[in-house]
Every structure is written in structure tokens, then in C-alpha cells.
């Protein structure tokens, strides 16, 4: 448990240093946000949060986060109309492949690769599994890094990354 109350998590903005593991949490339900932030903190991520779409989109443009956690129903939207998920789809490929995007929602099944693919994210997490998010995120980040490592190495060898 951390010494912060729920209201502190609405505006969490850690200072990033080169080499830090960074995360952006786009969740507007205080208790859910608190659990996600605690799990990511245990994994030693530095964290930014946001409550407004415009604020989050600005953060996405100004920083390349290692992990993005997005609520499917952010600001009472549906997964299909969520502008944050749309922004992820529109990211430049070089930025996108360096990030692990997790979609959190009641209608998804944790680790369903088909649902992740259908929603253009790397990982889906059901609300019931959020208390154990650190284990799921750790595995997903390792999988993503292993998947992209040979490709990024080839791009670097060709002078394209």
C-alpha cells in the first residue's frame, strides 16, 4: 500500500530520467487507477496519469512511454469509439513497436490474443485480473520485447532505426 489517497492518483506525474521504465495510465475510475498504479510502481515504472482525453493525447505526443494502460470505457466511451485507442492505431510504427499497450475492460478476457489483435493492442486485461496486473504486464512486456528484438536489430544493422 502506498501513502497516497485516491485523489493523488488522478494527477500522478513522476519525473522521468533517461533509462527509466515509463508508463501512462489512462483510467478514470479512482479505485481501478489506484490498483494499476500500485502494480506498475511495484514493477519500478515511473508513471503519468490523465483524466482528460486532450491531456493524454498531448502526453502521447510528447513522450514515448514503455507501457500504456487504457481503460476501454475511458470517459464513458465504448472500446469502438475510444479516441485513445484510435491514437494508438495512428502512432508511427517506430514508436508503436517500442510500446506495450494494454486495454483494460469488463468485456475482454485476459491474455486473449484475438481480442488484443481485434482492438489493435498488445494485451487485454479483464477488470477481475487488475489486482494481479504486475504479473500479466511483466509477461506481456517480455513477450513483446522478444518478438520485436530481431526486427529492431535488423533495422539498426541496416541503419534504419
Integer CA distances (angstroms), 100 to 4, 105, 136, in order: 26, 16, 12
- Gap between the terminal Cα atoms of the chain: 40
Share of the chain above pLDDT 70, in %: 94
Whether 5 shows a pLDDT value over 90: the answer reads: no
Strands 45-49 and 67-71, how do they pair? unpaired
Whether 4 shows a pLDDT value over 50: the answer reads: no
Whether 50 shows a pLDDT value over 80: the answer reads: yes
C-alpha grid cell for residue 41? 510502481
- What's the CATH architecture for 6-157? 3-Layer(aba) Sandwich (3.40)
Q: Please indicate, yes or no, whether the overall pTM of this predicted structure exceeds 0.75.
A: yes
Whether 161 shows a pLDDT value over 90: the answer reads: no
What pLDDT shows up at residue 122?
95
Average pLDDT over residues 9-32: 87
Distance CA 150, CA 100 (A): 17
Q: Which of 74, 79, 2 is nearest to 39 (CA)?
A: 2
How far is residue 127 CA from its own chain's centroid?
Answer: 15
Residues belonging to the chain? 161
Distance CA 42, CA 57 (A): 26
What pLDDT shows up at residue 97?
85
46 beta partners: 22
Amino acid at each position: 500500500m502506498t501513502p497516497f489517497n485516491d485523489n493523488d492518483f488522478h494527477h500522478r506525474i513522476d519525473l522521468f530520467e533517461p533509462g527509466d521504465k515509463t508508463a501512462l495510465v489512462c483510467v478514470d475510475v479512482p479505485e481501478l487507477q489506484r490498483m494499476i498504479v500500485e502494480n506498475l510502481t511495484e514493477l519500478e515504472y515511473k508513471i503519468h496519469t490523465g483524466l482528460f482525453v486532450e491531456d493524454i493525447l498531448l502526453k502521447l505526443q510528447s513522450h514515448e512511454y514503455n507501457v500504456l494502460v487504457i481503460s476501454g470505457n475511458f470517459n464513458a466511451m465504448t472500446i469502438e469509439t475510444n479516441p485513445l485507442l484510435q491514437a494508438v492505431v495512428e502512432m508511427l510504427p517506430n514508436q508503436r513497436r517500442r510500446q506495450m499497450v494494454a486495454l483494460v475492460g469488463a468485456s475482454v478476457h485476459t491474455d486473449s490474443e484475438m481480442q488484443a489483435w481485434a482492438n489493435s493492442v498488445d494485451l487485454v486485461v479483464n477488470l477481475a485480473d487488475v489486482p494481479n496486473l504486475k504479473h500479466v504486464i511483466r509477461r506481456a512486456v517480455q513477450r513483446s520485447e522478444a518478438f520485436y528484438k530481431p526486427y529492431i536489430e535488423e533495422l539498426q544493422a541496416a541503419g534504419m532505426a
